[in-house]
Amino acid sequence: MTNEKEQSLAIAEELKHKFEALGYAPTYSLDENAVLNICIGGDGTFLRAVHKTGFSSTPFVGVNTGTLGFFQEISILEIDKFIKNFDTGDYDIEKLDLLEGRVFSKEHKQYIHHSLNEFVIRSQDTSIIHLDVFIDDNHLQTFAGDALLVSTPSGSTAYNYSAGGAVLYRSLKGYQLTPLAPINSKAYRSLLNPLVIPSDSTLTIKRRSEDKSPTLVINDGLNIVCDNFDSIKIKTSDKWINKLQFNNNWYWLNIKDKFI
Ligand code: NAD
């Protein structure tokens, strides 16, 4: 999969020819029997590809033609090295956990979504949202503020990081609840800091009945407007995706390069 940038399309053609020369049969369409999904572009291209394949178990690799690349390990200068290393099996596979978000409507209908980066729960009209938050069966807080953001370890460097969340190394088990502009006053007591939740716990976020505007659930940047939203139950999914990793130091080099 590639974004529409001229450079990405040219890289896609180059990869196609080079893989064909080694006896592979690359296609631009999705193929369940593929040995590799290549995403050419930025992190957004990687996210879209993962969603489009329905979180395929075929490994993914990202070739970076964007500015930031947290999923996109291969730079355009390293394409020949990447092809050689892939062909000789010189790589590791990273398992990236996903979140499962089960949205319940007031009519008790359920809609299941998966996210690689994060879910954000806010009101569609940007008014203050009031949410009851439970971890397993324990009521933790009644949140009031802009939104609650729930991120995976690999999503912790995205929106979560901008919202003051911690960076969680990708293989850590668990997920993070981060408040966006929480109100802390005599009227409301919200946790001001992010909370890391173990992967075997379920987080339930329920809209308070006094809120009247529709709820917006944002999944990896894609908006889901929920008119009759009652609650969302979030946990670490039983599904995951596989990502090729060529350089074990890349994660920390990238953090330093992009953030510091
Ligand atoms: P976009 O084009 O607006 O990209 C947003 C930025 O997020 C890009 O710079 C991208 O490189 C970066 N990004 C995405 N995933 C990342 C990750 N795992 N680690 C570090 N950086 C990452 O939107 P898009 O391409 O559709 O991407 C959607 C993502 O944008 C969402 O999942 C969300 O995390 C992020 N986002 C961030 C903010 C913010 O930081 N204030 C606000 C909205 C959305």
Question: Mind telling me the catalytic residues?
Answer: 43
Domain that holds residue 149: 98-238
Residue that is last in its domain, among 64, 90, 116: 90
Amino acid present at 151: S
Mean pLDDT of the chain: 95
Distance (Å) from CA 171 to ligand 1 centroid: 20
Put simply, whether the predicted model's pTM sits higher than 0.85 gets the answer yes
pLDDT for the residue 126? 87
Same structural domain for residues 136 and 21?
no
The dihedral through the CA atoms of 173, 168, 155, 51 has a sign that is negative
Same structural domain for residues 107 and 227?
yes
Q: How many CB atoms lie within 10 A of CB 136?
A: 13
pLDDT band of 30, cuts 50, 70, 90 = confident
How do residues 155-212 score in pLDDT, each as one tens digit? 999 999 999 999 999 999 999 999 999 998 888 888 999 999 999 999 999 999 999 8
Distance (Å) from CA 43 to ligand 1 centroid: 7
Residue 188 lies in a domain: yes
32 has pLDDT over 90: no
| CA 172/CA 145 separation, integer angstroms | 28
Distance (Å) from CA 160 to ligand 1 centroid: 9
Residue with CA at minimum distance from ligand 1 atom 17: 158
| CA 216/CA 120 separation, integer angstroms | 8
Atom of ligand 1 minimally distant from the CA of 118: 32
How do residues 216-245 score in pLDDT, each as one tens digit? 999 999 999 888 999 999 999 999 999 999
* CATH code for the domain in which residue 192 is found: 2.60.200.30
**CA 99 to each of CA 55, 147, 174: distance values in angstroms, whole numbers, following the listed order:** 11, 18, 10
Residues 6+ apart with CB under 8 A from 39: 1, 2, 45, 46, 49, 50, 60, 61, 62, 63, 71, 72
Residue 219 lies in a domain: yes
pLDDT band of 114, cuts 50, 70, 90 = very high
Same structural domain for residues 82 and 193?
no
Same structural domain for residues 113 and 201?
yes
Token duo for residue 143: 């949140």
Residue with CA at minimum distance from ligand 1 atom 20: 158
The count of residues in the chain is 260
Same structural domain for residues 127 and 50?
no
- Give the N- to C-terminal CA distance of the chain in Å, as an integer: 30
Distance (Å) from CA 139 to ligand 1 centroid: 31
In our burial notation (b when 16+ CB lie closer than 10 A, e otherwise), range 29-42 reads eeeeebeebbbbbb
The dihedral through the CA atoms of 140, 142, 145, 146 has a sign that is positive
Number of structural domains (the chain) is 2
Mean pLDDT of 89-103: 97
The dihedral through the CA atoms of 4, 250, 197, 127 has a sign that is negative
Residue written as tokens 């064909």? 20
Same structural domain for residues 105 and 233?
yes
How do residues 120-164 score in pLDDT, each as one tens digit? 999 999 899 999 999 998 999 999 999 999 999 999 999 999 999
Same structural domain for residues 125 and 192?
yes
Residue 256 lies in a domain: no
Residues 6+ apart with CB under 8 A from 226: 103, 105, 214, 215, 216, 217
Phi/psi zone of residue 126: left (φ > 0), alpha (ψ -120 to 50 degrees), beta? left
Same structural domain for residues 66 and 121?
no
Percent of the chain, pLDDT > 90? 87
Same structural domain for residues 109 and 226?
yes
pLDDT for the residue 20? 96
Residue with CA at minimum distance from ligand 1 atom 36: 159
Distance (Å) from CA 156 to ligand 1 centroid: 10
Residue written as tokens 């890391």? 196
Atom of ligand 1 minimally distant from the CA of 151: 34
Q: Are 235 and 100 in contact (CB under 8 A)?
A: yes
* CATH code for the domain in which residue 25 is found: 3.40.50.10330
pLDDT for the residue 118? 98
Which residues contact ligand 1 via a Cβ below 6 A? 42-44, 47, 68, 70, 117-118, 154-155, 157-159, 162, 220-221
How do residues 244-254 score in pLDDT, each as one tens digit? 999 989 999 99
Same structural domain for residues 48 and 72?
yes
Residue 25 lies in a domain: yes
Residue 254 lies in a domain: no
Instruction: Give SS3 for 253.
Output: helix
Same structural domain for residues 102 and 226?
yes
Distance (Å) from CA 213 to ligand 1 centroid: 26
Residue with CA at minimum distance from ligand 1 atom 38: 159
Residue with CA at minimum distance from ligand 1 atom 37: 159
Residue 1 lies in a domain: no
| CA 113/CA 221 separation, integer angstroms | 13
Using most ligand atoms within 8 A of CB, pick from 43, 97, 146, 222 the residue to mutate for ligand 1. 43
Same structural domain for residues 196 and 220?
yes
Residue 245 lies in a domain: no
Residue with CA at minimum distance from ligand 1 atom 16: 158
Residue 106 lies in a domain: yes
Residue that is last in its domain, among 90, 106, 127: 90
Residue that is last in its domain, among 90, 117, 152: 90
